[in-house]
């Protein structure tokens, strides 16, 4: 079955113009590197019924892999999981694994002195209440676990709206799952470069992408707050050897050109 | 009848991660200033049937004012008007007023030396072919007229995807129309709190929202990369004084309760 992907962006802050949604573009580019195309995106308000209907509408339009972003936090306006539960007529229940994640995160934040108490208050406990049958995705950046639910022949993946948390969960908890869904073969190499300025890298990336077609290069500055730049070089096709060779060639080319042309810092 | 607004963003460049959609945020903020709230946003690919279906889905969800952005240009992948025509089973026809706009724009661009010829070629003429019953909106920035269509009790407003053209048409051709549609008045205050943990704030927000009905409170952590939390307090109604007073009272209440109950950090 072909994967048909929808992204459901949830949050009044987007539809009220307060926040510019950049999460979905980031997601789209990561998915593109895995050879997936996104069919449509919807953006809706923080209302349980509205979220539920949006999910039903996306399924009806043929989506079988839906990413939601936002609405997993502790406050009253975080309603994504209640919306997912309503869409599939599932009860919600406290998920032990999710509670372990939430507890660990707040304990650690308390130990680091970021928050006053590590106690699992009602708002924090709320983040571990998932639709029945869903499983949590670890989150080591913030407090809200991601969520995966397999239901009605579709997969629903709920990610937090805070960009760093969404990115961490995607890179560390979802890549393996998504790689298993790729049609054809796929290869990727990650390169770290001790550079400060992404803009000096842009023409080198453009050059290399022109020299070796069929390769996707994604760059990110300080992806998780670290200094430097991280590059993801990926490609897909029919032959594993060919794809791996192509990715490796481009990775080497990038490192060499950067060493030749850029000051290290 | 209440105005229920949907925004339909049309363009593969958005769903392929090449372009970040900033048009819809701009539109949302302009509409907000006029006391309109946007209910939902959809982003779809450049396919006639997909555009048509998205419009039908938005109408079904209750939208009676739909803005589309993108897909009005001269190239083969500009399919918005064909999608609108299909959604409402309308024939398309050359619109004389639209052709006058297109002709004037290309003549002027030619005179300014921006383009080689001002001739109305087939691709340029295409921009003046509108769904039957639609009327063009003047565009003095680029070549593609905007389009307004009143149909099935709804109003469809098609704007170009080039930000400068979209903005010009909105400000110069739509403001009068939209101001005539405003219901009631609107007020908003933004509060900044030097807190680190959103979860401790949740019960205070709930309490205040219960104490003063008719007010919406939205919280966000580190909204502009700054530390702390930002709160948006808004309300709408019939009397400007009453609405402003209500928002101001809640803003003060929130600040006071946070100062009383939460450690500052």
**pLDDT tens digit at each of 265 positions of chain A:** 689 999 999 999 999 998 999 999 999 988 987 889 999 999 999 999 999 999 999 999 999 999 999 999 999 899 999 999 999 999 999 999 999 999 999 999 999 988 889 999 999 999 999 999 999 999 999 999 999 999 999 999 999 999 999 999 998 999 889 988 887 788 889 888 877 666 777 788 878 877 887 787 776 665 555 667 888 888 888 888 999 999 999 999 999 988 887 765 4
Task: Say yes or no: A204 and A161 in one domain.
Answer: no
- Candidates A40, A44, A162; nearest CB to B40: A44
- Check residue B89 and give its pLDDT: 98
B15 → closest Cβ in A28, A122, A162: A28
pLDDT at B214 over 90: no
**Whether A202 and A159 share a structural domain:** no
Which of B25, B40, B202 lies nearest to residue A76, judging by beta carbons?
Answer: B202
What integer is the mean pLDDT of B28-40?
Answer: 89
Please return the burial class of B94, using the count of CB atoms within 10 Å of its CB with bins 0-12, 13-18 and 19+. Answer: exposed
Q: Do B245 and B149 belong together in one domain? A: no
In this predicted structure, what is the pLDDT of residue B235?
84
State ipTM: 0.80
Per the CB < 8 A criterion, the answer to whether B34 and B183 are in contact is no
Average pLDDT value for chain B: 90
| Chain B residues touching residue A49 (CB < 8 angstroms) | none
Determine the Cα–Cα distance for residues A108 and A102; give it in Å rounded to an integer: 10
Summarize the confidence of residues B224-242 as an average pLDDT: 80
CB contact under 8 A, B15 and A43: no
Among the candidates B120, B145, B179, a domain finishes at: B179
Q: Any residues with CB less than 8 A from the CB of A87 and at least 6 apart, and which?
A: A51, A52, A53, A55, A56
The DSSP symbol for A160 reads -
Is B146's pLDDT higher than 70? yes
Whether residue B110 is predicted with pLDDT greater than 70 in this model: the reply is: yes
B107 is in which domain, residue-wise? 5-179
Q: Which pLDDT band, with edges at 50, 70 and 90, does B22 fall under? A: very high
- If you ran DSSP here, which 8-state letter would residue B19 be given? S
Last-in-domain residue among A127, A152, A179: A179
Instruction: Provide residues of A within 8 Å CB-CB of chain B.
Output: 9, 12-22, 25, 28-29, 32, 37-45, 50, 53-54, 57, 61, 73-77, 109, 114-116, 121-124, 143, 162
pLDDT at B206 (0 to 100): 82
Measuring CA to CA, which residue among B132, B141, B159 is closest to residue B66?
A: B159
Same domain, A55 and A102: yes
Q: Give the CATH number for residue B235.
A: 3.30.70.2860
pTM of the entire predicted model: 0.81
Q: Rounded CA gap, A130 and A156, in Å?
A: 12
What integer pLDDT is reported at residue B162 of this predicted model? Answer: 92
Q: Are residues A41 and A105 in the same domain?
A: yes
Task: Report the C-alpha gap between B20 and A103 in whole angstroms.
Answer: 36
Cα–Cα dist A177/A132, whole Å: 20
**How far does CA A4 lie from the centroid of its chain?**
17
Domain identity same for A100 and A160 = yes
Tell which of B197, B206, B228, B232 to mutate to test the A interface (max A CBs under 10 Å).
Answer: B197
Assess whether B125 and B245 both reside in one domain.
no
Average pLDDT over residues B57-67: 96
Task: Report the CATH number at residue B125.
Answer: 3.40.980.10
Domain boundary among the residues B179, B203, B221 is at B179
Res A96: pLDDT: 98
Whether B219 sits inside 8 A of A75 (CB atoms) is yes
Chain A hits for B50, CB-CB cut-off 8 Å, are 40
């Amino acid at each position: 079955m072909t994967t048909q992907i929808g992204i459901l962006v949830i949050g009044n802050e987007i539809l009220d113009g307060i926040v510019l949604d950049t999460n979905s573009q980031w997601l789209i580019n990561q998915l593109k590197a895995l050879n997936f195309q996104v069919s449509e995106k919807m953006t809706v308000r923080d209302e349980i019924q509205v979220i539920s209907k949006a999910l039903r509408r996306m399924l009806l339009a043929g989506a079988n892999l839906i990413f939601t972003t936002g609405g997993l936090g502790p406050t009253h306006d975080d309603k994504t999981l209640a919306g997912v539960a309503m869409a599939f007529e599932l009860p919600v229940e406290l998920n032990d694994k999710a509670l372990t994640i939430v507890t660990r995160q707040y304990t650690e934040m308390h130990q680091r002195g970021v928050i006053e108490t590590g106690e699992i208050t009602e708002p924090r406990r709320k983040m571990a209440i998932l639709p029945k049958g869903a499983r949590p995705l670890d989150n080591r950046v913030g407090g809200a676990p991601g969520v995966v639910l397999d239901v009605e022949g579709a997969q629903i993946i709920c990610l937090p709206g805070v960009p760093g948390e969404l990115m961490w969960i995607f890179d560390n908890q979802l890549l393996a799952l998504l790689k298993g869904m790729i049609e054809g073969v796929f290869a990727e190499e990650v390169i770290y470069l001790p550079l400060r300025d992404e803009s000096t890298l842009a023409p080198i990336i453009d050059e290399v992408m022109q020299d070796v077609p069929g390769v996707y290069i994604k760059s990110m500055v300080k992806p998780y707050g670290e200094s430097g730049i991280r590059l993801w070089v990926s490609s897909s096709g029919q032959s594993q050897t060919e794809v791996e060779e192509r990715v490796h060639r481009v990775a080497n080319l990038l490192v060499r050109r950067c060493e030749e042309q850029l000051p290290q810092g």
